[in-house]
Structure 1
Amino acid sequence: MTTIYFVRHGQASFGAESYDQLSPNGELQAKLLGQYFDQILKEAPYVVAGAMQRHQQTTQIALAQCFPEAGVDTNAAWNEFNHQQVFAQYEPRFNQPHLLKQDVAQHKDPRAYLGQIFEGAIARWTGGEFHHEYDESWPEFKARVEGALVNLCQQLAQTKPRYAVVFTSGGVISVIAGKLLELNANRTFALNWAIANTSLTTVRLVGTEPQLLSLNEHHFIKAQRPDLLTWI
């Protein structure tokens, strides 16, 4: 029976010209994750990663701590939705990432304020009226992720590794959890806001059917370096 670990990437570079690279904190998170894998995985896993830079960096840093010889399959089906476009369609000035970071930093409760923006932007993206304004609509993203999950489960049912690890993003993991828990879009993205960087969401494969075992495990960071816990 295969256990699949879905990993959210380490902290990326929020507000930078290119979000898609790990911050120094993100690199440390990925290292802690790899050390944790070295403790809990008894043999090398099958590894797949999204094609984004933050996915690849998290993968390489983590594997260097536990299974440096492991091969990695790269699959863009595990990529995140274009969150910068989702923010910009909600508020055009956020097309410049530094302006979003600036607004958030100036607020008395930055995380709560960013949460309000995120909620509004996601509601517009998933609401149905504006699907045509996005390069990838909510239904298209949801179908892509659910298709990637089906394909992965079918592959693993044939090859039967003990473990599989998927390095991806919070939105992708939320869609998977939402699918397995039969959540609507609003509740699915409420999960997304809570998923910590380099946290683990685990799924057990029974035949070709995935069953959710855990969501958003990040105790391995909290126990060693609680100062490294991030959600953005």
Structure 2
Amino acid sequence: MSQMFHLVRHAQASFGAADYDNLSPLGHRQSEALGSALRRQGVQPDKVFIGAMKRHRQTWEGMAKGMNLDADPVILPGLNEFDFKGLLDARFAKGGAPEGMHDDRRQHFRTLRDTVLMWQNEEIENPPERFADFSARVREAREVIAASGAKVPLAVSSGGAIGQTVAEITGGPADQMIALQLQVRNCAVARFVVSRNGTWLHGFNETPHIQADNEAEMLTYS
């Protein structure tokens, strides 16, 4: 039996706020709009999985409303994002952090790109999580979903876990993880065909809820 696995990035969270792990008002609208768009596409998930983060559950709740679907999601902590704030702080534990590292979008993502590459090469002392452990838990979550028996599983996760998943499945080099992560839009959908013979990427960074007339509002990355 093959699966059509839909992997969704959470909607816009609260970048720069004290609690990032909380959808913005726009994020709530994005998640419901995505659910409505997937319903129009005929997507009917028979099992739903989410990470353990608040923004994952909030995104699913909005999607469920848009899909007119009542499904109790299975929580898989392996779908969680890595602790990017903790990772940045670990890199600059001895000082030298650039100004705006945590609250200026351009500075944050420029610094994060270089930091993730260092993390992958084990060049950061005392990170909140080793990159190898992050990769392993993301892979194990995917294996749980593949073994679930669902024909159309849907999962809500985060950009880093999605970037790592796509990079690993397509056989890309390690640095593709952060390159992909920085491209993933809020509420974007990646689709995979999963069978006993392997897993293949079927679609990446799809945003069926975004049209020309709402792109200026709905298209966000953080």
Provide the TM-score with structure 1 as the length reference.
0.86
1:154 Cα deviation from its structure 2 partner = 2.1
Counterpart selection for 1:179 from 168, 173, 193: 168
Gap change, CA 1:94 and 1:72, over 3 Å in 2: farther
Deviations 1:110-136 (A, max 9, x none): 53x333212122122222133x51121
**1:135 matched to 2:137:** no
Q: Give the whole-Å Cα distance in 2 for the aligned partners of 1:94 and 1:229.
A: 33
Gap change, CA 1:193 and 1:59, over 3 Å in 2: same
1:187 Cα deviation from its structure 2 partner = 1.5
Q: Give the whole-Å Cα distance in 2 for the aligned partners of 1:206 and 1:37.
A: 22
Gaps of 5+ in 1: 105-109
1:222 Cα deviation from its structure 2 partner = 3.7
Deviations 1:160-213 (A, max 9, x none): 42x111000011111110111112221221000000000000001122622110
Structure 2 partner of 1:149: 142
The answer as to whether partners of 1:88 and 1:94 remain within 8 angstroms in 2 is: no
Secondary structure, counterpart of 1:220 in structure 2: coil
Gap change, CA 1:134 and 1:37, over 3 Å in 2: same
AA partner of residue 38 (structure 1): R
Provide the TM-score with structure 2 as the length reference.
0.89
Q: Give the whole-Å Cα distance in 1 for the aligned partners of 2:101 and 2:221.
A: 19
Deviations 1:34-87 (A, max 9, x none): 111211235343111111000000001110111432221111111111011112
Structure 2 partner of 1:230: 220
Aligned length: 218
**1:36 matched to 2:37:** yes
Counterpart selection for 2:200 from 201, 211, 225: 211
After the TM superposition, which of the residue ranges 62-71 and 28-37 deviates more from structure 2? 62-71
The answer as to whether partners of 2:38 and 2:208 remain within 8 angstroms in 1 is: no
Structure 1 partner of 2:54: 53
Aligned sequence identity (%): 25
Structure 1 partner of 2:120: 126
Secondary structure, counterpart of 1:100 in structure 2: coil
1:28 Cα deviation from its structure 2 partner = 1.1
The answer as to whether partners of 2:5 and 2:191 remain within 8 angstroms in 1 is: yes
Q: Give the whole-Å Cα distance in 1 for the aligned partners of 2:115 and 2:29.
A: 30
Q: Give the whole-Å Cα distance in 2 for the aligned partners of 1:208 and 1:166.
A: 21
1:215 Cα deviation from its structure 2 partner = 0.8
1:89 Cα deviation from its structure 2 partner = 2.0
Q: Give the whole-Å Cα distance in 1 for the aligned partners of 2:17 and 2:49.
A: 27
AA partner of residue 102 (structure 2): L
The answer as to whether partners of 1:47 and 1:73 remain within 8 angstroms in 2 is: yes
Q: Give the whole-Å Cα distance in 1 for the aligned partners of 2:43 and 2:27.
A: 25
Q: Report which of the two has the higher share of helix.
A: 1
Deviations 1:2-42 (A, max 9, x none): 21110000011111111100011111110111111211235
Q: Give the whole-Å Cα distance in 1 for the aligned partners of 2:187 and 2:76.
A: 19
Q: Give the whole-Å Cα distance in 2 for the aligned partners of 1:174 and 1:90.
A: 21
AA partner of residue 231 (structure 1): Y
